[in-house]
Structure 1
Amino acid sequence: MNRDTGFPRADAEADFLRARRRQVLSRLAKWLRGEPDDVNIMLPFKEVVDALGYVSERRIGTRVITLDSIVGSVDRGRDFDRRFRPTSGRVRERWERLALAARRGESIPPIQVYRIGDLHFIIDGHHRVSVAHAMGVPTIEADVVEVRTKLDPSGIRYRGDLIVKDYRRLFLERVPLTGQSRASVVFSDAWDYSRLGEHVEAWGFRLMQDEGVFSDRATIAKRWYEEEYEPVVAMMRQADLIGDRTEAEAYLWVACERYRLIRTHRWDDEVIEAVRSRKR
């Protein structure tokens, strides 16, 4: 429990030492639990935008945002961890000066952030956010620039999640699905997006050879989903072959098994039974 002395300067100094101690204890807890290195690391704004695909941006003015929605930084990730606890004594002087101002009730200007979906990334104001966290304040004023991206940022928790988003973005550039078809093709393993992209492109090439007509990527994507993916997934549901995977994961698995077993596009009870016998 925090106990104030009644002397703002001394209390501001104690605030910083407490925040540093919490950061060190958090690192120790991560090591004891064997968690990945990126658990306590801020998300780098540029890497997030690159993974999701930049579209546009617009300034929307001053808003009150929750501290928990601030997950990353434009350029100061090394000075603070994911919860904006100081990672060293390098920021102490400025940190304590802001903590003192906050304790005295002085006016503190809004921070500046980028917004992607429900996530915020600090442009300016890392120390102010760190002090607010240390004092248990749930919200803060921010000048917000909203960034639109090709992919939704939902599901991003750690830096490692960006790999899956990046591969999904590249897959959707190769296979431009839309609407429900876009939402239904989901993998947990980033590499599966590459494998499926190759598969769909090969399917489209064979289709154009069979019909003798050129089709663009959007047309191929639509036809593959309606003529190949949906019927196969429906048969897999009836044959109880989905299991605990996503439908896309089940489809990709059985498609690979199909080519290894029979090297043909034939789908019938015999083929399904052969695939079932190899189910893991």
Structure 2
Amino acid sequence: MNRDTGFPRADAESDFLRARRRQVLSRLANWLRREPDDVNIMLPFHEVVDALGWVSERRIGLRVIQLSSIVGSVDRGRDFDRRFRPTSGRVRERWERLALAARRGENIPPIEVYRIGGLHFIIDGHHRVSVAHAMGLDSIDAQVTEVRTKLDPAGIRYRGDLIVKDYRRIFLERVPLTGQARASVIVSDPWDYAQLGEHVEAWGFRLMQDEGAFLDRQTIAARWFAEEYEPVVRMLHQADLIGTHTEAEAYMWVAGERYRLIRTHRWDDEVIETLRTQR
């Protein structure tokens, strides 16, 4: 609990020291728990956009945003941790000046952020956000520019999550599923998206050979999902072969095992029973 002395300058100095102490203790706790290295690092805006795929942006103006929704930075990630606690004494002078202004009730200009989905990334205002956190505030005024991306940022918590998003974006460029089909095909290991993309493209090549006609990626993706993926997933559910995996992961497993064991691309009850006995 903060104990104010009634002297704004002294209290601002105490605010900074308290924030620094919390940052050091948090880093130590993460080390003792053997947390991933990126658990307390801000998400880099440009890496997030690259992973999700930039579509467009528009300025939507002044908004009140939740401090908890600010997860990253355009270019100042090294000065503050994920919760905007100072990582060194380098920012102390400016930090304390802003804390003093806030304690005196002076007007603090809004920060500037990019918005991707429900996440915000600071363009300008890192110190202001850090001070707001230290003062126990929940929200802050911000000038917002909304960025639309090919993929939804849902599920991004740490920097490592961007790898999965990046592979999924590339997969969906190769296999442009839409609607429910797009939402249904999910894997946990980013490399599985690369392997699944190769599998669908091979399936599409065999389909074009069988039909003697060129098919574009959109058509192949839609037909693969309707004619191959959905029927197989239904059989896997009936045979209780999904287990703890996602449907797409189970599909990839049985597709690989099917060809390894019985050298076929067909699907029927005999194939499923063979796979069940080999599990």
TM-score range, shorter chain: over 0.9
CA distance in 2, matches of 1:49, 1:251: 30
CA distance in 1, matches of 2:65, 2:250: 40
Question: Paired residue for 1:47?
Answer: 47
Instruction: Give the counterpart letter for 1:222 in structure 2.
Output: A
Does 254-263 or 114-123 show the bigger shift? 254-263
The share of aligned pairs that are identical, in percent, is 85
Question: Tell me, what secondary structure is at the counterpart of 1:213?
Answer: coil
CA distance in 1, matches of 2:214, 2:71: 45
Deviation for aligned residue 1:99:
0.2
CA distance in 1, matches of 2:268, 2:9: 78
Question: Tell me, what secondary structure is at the counterpart of 2:38?
Answer: helix
CA distance in 2, matches of 1:145, 1:61: 7
Question: Paired residue for 1:99?
Answer: 99
Instruction: Give the counterpart letter for 2:22 in structure 1.
Output: R
CA distance in 1, matches of 2:116, 2:70: 10
CA distance in 2, matches of 1:191, 1:2: 48
Question: Paired residue for 1:133?
Answer: 133
Question: Paired residue for 2:22?
Answer: 22
Please give the residue correspondences for 1:1-150 in structure 2 after superposition, counting only pairs within 5 Å. 1-150=1-150
Deviation for aligned residue 1:278:
2.8
Instruction: Give the counterpart letter for 1:41 in structure 2.
Output: I
Question: Paired residue for 1:205?
Answer: 205
CA distance in 2, matches of 1:266, 1:77: 52
CA distance in 1, matches of 2:45, 2:267: 46
Question: Paired residue for 2:276?
Answer: 276
Deviation for aligned residue 1:259:
1.2
Q: Which runs of 5+ in 1 are unaligned?
A: none
Deviation for aligned residue 1:268:
2.5
Show CA shifts across 1:97-153 (max 9, x none): 000000000000000000000000000000000000000000000000000000000
CA distance in 2, matches of 1:268, 1:228: 12
Q: CA RMSD in A?
A: 0.6
Instruction: Give the counterpart letter for 1:140 in structure 2.
Output: I
Show CA shifts across 1:205-232 (max 9, x none): 0110111100000000000000000000
Question: Tell me, what secondary structure is at the counterpart of 1:57?
Answer: strand
Deviation for aligned residue 1:266:
2.4
Instruction: Give the counterpart letter for 2:180 in structure 1.
Output: Q
CA distance in 1, matches of 2:267, 2:233: 12
**TM-score, normalized by length of structure 1?**
0.99
Instruction: Give the counterpart letter for 1:123 in structure 2.
Output: I
Question: Paired residue for 2:237?
Answer: 237
Instruction: Give the counterpart letter for 2:68 in structure 1.
Output: D
CA distance in 2, matches of 1:278, 1:74: 51
Question: Paired residue for 1:253?
Answer: 253
Show CA shifts across 1:222-249 (max 9, x none): 0000000000001111111111111111
CA distance in 2, matches of 1:266, 1:86: 59
CA distance in 1, matches of 2:50, 2:278: 39
Does 264-273 or 130-139 show the bigger shift? 264-273
CA distance in 2, matches of 1:174, 1:165: 14
CA distance in 2, matches of 1:97, 1:208: 68
Q: Which runs of 5+ in 2 are unaligned?
A: none
